[in-house]
Amino acid sequence: MGSEAGKTIYEFSASLLDGRTLKLGEFRGRVLLIVNTASKCGLTPQYTGLESLYESYRDRGLEVLGFPCNQFGGQEPGGAEQIEAFCGKCYGVKFPMFGKIEVNGPNAHPLYRFLKKERPGLFGIGRVAWNFTKFLVDRQGVVVRRFGPATKPEELALPIARLLAR
């Protein structure tokens, strides 16, 4: 499923943890891995694998973008400062982390509404099921794949390398 009417990820913007707004157009020409994250989830150790992917592939054109979300079991209760401190201290996260958002429901961030429309997921339900759902975006800003929360970041190395080689 390609982008409708030429829409790409680059039309969106979001606030970073420090409150600055970042236009995703700044990532034009890069491969993106967009992930909704949480600090108090059984899957939180995936931060290690996400940071490893970022460190391994960023010089070739990968950006990992983390979007904290508290919609699943209240597993991201902290504010921006707590999230930033936790990610840095516990997992050494250096990839961009954005302000807390909602990924489902009427207050879902427009970026996530777009991601879910492009890649609706299992049975086409169009919802993010849990923390650490991953969306892979090619260098043209097209959402090419979606991976469920149980997919470990290490399992994304090959799909990422293939997109980077294009």
**Which candidate in 41, 69, 87, 90 is catalytic?**
41
Single-letter amino acid code for the residue at 70: N
Concerning whether 87 is annotated as a catalytic residue, the answer is no
> In sequence order, what E strands does the chain have?
13-15, 21-23, 31-37, 62-68, 134-137, 143-147
Dihedral (Cα; 100, 45, 152, 118), 10-degree rounding = 0
CB 66 within 8 A of CB 87: yes
Half-sphere exposure of 60 (CA within 13 A, CB side): 14
Tell me the β-bridge partners of 136: 33, 145
Six-digit token pair at 11?
């039309």
Residues noted as catalytic: 41
